[in-house]
Amino acid sequence: MIGVIPMRRIKSVCPRDCPDSCFLTVTVEDERVASVKGDGDHPLTQGFTCPRGASDPERVYSPERVLYPHARDRDAQSFKRVTWDEALTLVSLRLREVIDEQGPGAVLHLDYAGNTGLLSYDFFRRLWNAIGATGHDSSICSSSGHAALALHYGLSYGLQPEELPGMRAVTFWGFNPVVSAPHIWRLAQRAREENGASIITVDPRLSESARSGGLWLNPRPGSDVALAYGIARCLIEAEAVDLAFIEEWTQGFDAYRDEAMRWTPERVEELTAVEWGRIEALAALYAESSPSAFMIGLGLQKSLYGAEAVRAVSLIPALLGLHRGFYYSNSRGRFVDYEYVSGEKLTGANRDIVSQVSLGKLLDAGRFGFVYVNGMNPAVTLPEQGAVRRGLAREDVFVVVHDTHWTETTRLADVVLPAPTYLEKDDLVVADSHPYVRRSVGVVEPLGESRDEVSVMLDLARGLGVEEGWVYEDPWEALTRAFEGAFEDGAVGDLAGGATLRLRSKPRDSYQTPTERVEFYPESAIKIGASPLPVQLPLNRSGDDYVFLTSALPRYTHSQFRDVHGPIPSTVWLSAQDAGRLGFGDGDIIEIHNYYGSLLAKAKVTPRTPPGVLWSPRLFTDLRGEPQNTVFPPETQAIGGGPLFNSTLVRIGRGYSRPPP
């Protein structure tokens, strides 16, 4: 074709829900994405990307792409292709009807981080903020950890991952970076190779990270607060606490110290099942290894015990005299005005905000007449899947899904709108971890009739007659305003030319608490009904119960990439002791069940899980087609409203001798 450039290499940025937020080099051949590789110039990406990023060419051209608008024929229970004008007219009419008849609160905008670009995610919220639609609290992922850290530190930001090579000890607590953050893991390896650093992994399961060398502690699931207090007791008894730092920078240490000293070796061992000598050895390592880093995983806080565990772990570096010597997420340590991007600070409309974790009950009860979904696959990812799917399938609710691929959620929709992948549109991505920003560039034209979120938002706003001028603001001008003063070395306009800028970070020795110190005993906790000190909640497992843990596999981001790599394996790991007691062998079909539902999966007998604990890959579909989240409850944590995934109890029975047809 005349004018087609045979090969180009273009710089872009991955916007997936991952702390690494890789800078990428994309090769385009004959106007098709040929390869995606990590950019070697980036201090975190370091020239490589994960298996997910490398698979993006296949995902862009997947046969599961949504390429054209579709509308459901409810009588025929099938979809038919329609034009964009037809689809948008149908959506606008139904949306207006629900607003007029039931009020804007009957409209639910349900989104999440399927694409974390500020235009795809945050800016798109302007329409829903303007009309006063019901929103959600984004609690499915990290909210309880943020809220827990806020009690003691004010905001939840901590050290920069690029500091890891200079550390002498790096602890991954409830964090499996080999799978979920491989670039952070590589920086920790550099600390070991270049600085002789120790790598410590705290995880009930022998994870991929725990298998990669270093010290591994495997406390019982949910006993992390006890373990943290045990470490604190050892540091206090060894006089390894930095008392000068405590005096100058903290509040409430005496009450914390008294509580730590109540955790006797016998008490800690009984609850955690970790030998006291190993805890003493770890505390001694911390005392002699400065500086050190405590990398707190999001998986740690997705349980009944999660917020308490995060706050307990975060206080260990303060004992060692480290300003915010932890990493959880640095998203709240920036100077970016996200509320301006989303329009949250611009709207005068009153909005209901509901629990994302508990949404199934509201959907099932018919709380909403109109649901708009983008950047999320709730018919897989939310707890209590039976209620979620029944709610989305109700005859009296109109569901619109704007997505790149056909999913379980699109197949429940009344209208499906095609969205481009990140390689087909321009956007701006701010990482949860590192401070570097480069424009995410679309490298090929959108496939089919895909339209990006901004253009769809504007069409819907016009169709509804939305009058607020800020809804129609040029998106890049909005980003320019939101980033005023946010960069150390430039402005948003500089990114258009391919520049890489560094975000300013809030000082590590600044604490946004009432006392402007690290608060070991925050009295603000009392106002929200929480204990000022971290609390070890009772472990409620009985003899017949198993704690069901899940985590990611390297080739999948949540429910993405199944079209490329096949289904997520419906496998449940259990210990040899439990398998022998129950009479199961490797590959047998077993049923795990609780009050909420049941799953059929293949058993994998392994020494990598302890007795009483089951593990499986996150978000598998079982051998009958049931989503894994069928068995997870919709209840929330007291602090932050986060989910209870990794404290869910199930029981085991024998399933079919072979998978059902």
User: Do residues 429 and 14 touch, judged by C-beta distance below 8 A?
Assistant: yes
What tens digit of pLDDT does each residue of 250-305 get?
A: 999 999 999 999 999 999 999 999 999 999 999 999 999 999 999 999 999 999 99
CATH number reported for the structural domain that contains residue 623 in this entry: 2.40.40.20
What tens digit of pLDDT does each residue of 137-184 get?
A: 999 999 999 999 999 999 999 999 999 999 999 999 999 999 999 999
Is the pLDDT assigned to residue 351 strictly greater than 90? yes
Residues 346 and 430 in one domain: yes
Return the H-helix or E-strand segment holding 551. Answer: strand 546-551
Residues 416 and 311 in one domain: no
CATH number reported for the structural domain that contains residue 457 in this entry: 3.40.50.740
Instruction: Give the torsion sign (CA, 207, 630, 20, 155).
Output: negative
Total length of the chain: 661
Mean pLDDT of 309-320: 98
Is the pLDDT assigned to residue 659 strictly greater than 50? no
pTM: 0.97
Q: Residue 228 falls within a domain, yes or no?
A: yes
Question: Pairing mode, if any, of strands 70-73 and 7-13?
Answer: unpaired
Residues 38 and 92 in one domain: no
d(CA 455, CA 461): 10
Q: Give the domain range for residue 135.
A: 70-140+335-502
Residues 54 and 98 in one domain: no
State the amino acid at position 6 in one-letter form.
Answer: P
The first and second tokens of residue 49, run together, are 């990307």
Q: Residue 188 falls within a domain, yes or no?
A: yes
What tens digit of pLDDT does each residue of 39-60 get?
A: 998 989 999 999 999 999 999 9
Q: What percent of the chain has pLDDT over 90?
A: 95
Q: Residue 275 falls within a domain, yes or no?
A: yes
Q: Residue 185 falls within a domain, yes or no?
A: yes
How high is the pLDDT of residue 660?
45
Is the pLDDT assigned to residue 589 strictly greater than 50? yes
Q: Residue 391 falls within a domain, yes or no?
A: yes
Residues 201 and 320 in one domain: yes
Is the pLDDT assigned to residue 661 strictly greater than 70? no
Residues 166 and 300 in one domain: yes
What tens digit of pLDDT does each residue of 96-132 get?
A: 999 999 999 999 999 999 999 999 999 999 999 999 9
Mention every residue, 6+ apart, whose C-beta is less than 8 A from residue 61: 32, 33, 447
Residues 492 and 522 in one domain: no
Residues 184 and 310 in one domain: yes
CATH number reported for the structural domain that contains residue 40 in this entry: 3.30.200.210
Q: Residue 149 falls within a domain, yes or no?
A: no
How high is the pLDDT of residue 541?
87
- Cα of first residue to Cα of last residue in the chain, in angstroms, is 49
Q: Residue 533 falls within a domain, yes or no?
A: no
d(CA 598, CA 67): 35
Residues 418 and 354 in one domain: yes
Total tally of structural domains belonging to the chain:
4
Q: Residue 659 falls within a domain, yes or no?
A: no
**Domain end position, chosen among 60, 82, 105:** 60
**Domain end position, chosen among 443, 467, 502:** 502
User: Do residues 162 and 319 touch, judged by C-beta distance below 8 A?
Assistant: no
Residues 355 and 383 in one domain: yes
Q: Residue 214, by phi and psi: left (phi above 0), alpha (psi -120 to 50) or beta? A: left
How high is the pLDDT of residue 4?
59
**Domain end position, chosen among 472, 493, 527:** 527
> Confidence band (pLDDT; 50, 70, 90) for 481?
very high
Crossing angle (nearest 10°) for helices 253-261 and 224-237: 100
d(CA 59, CA 562): 9
Residues 368 and 487 in one domain: yes
Residues 300 and 341 in one domain: no
CATH number reported for the structural domain that contains residue 204 in this entry: 3.40.228.10
How high is the pLDDT of residue 77?
79
Q: Which of 356, 463, 451 is nearest to 66 (CA)?
A: 451
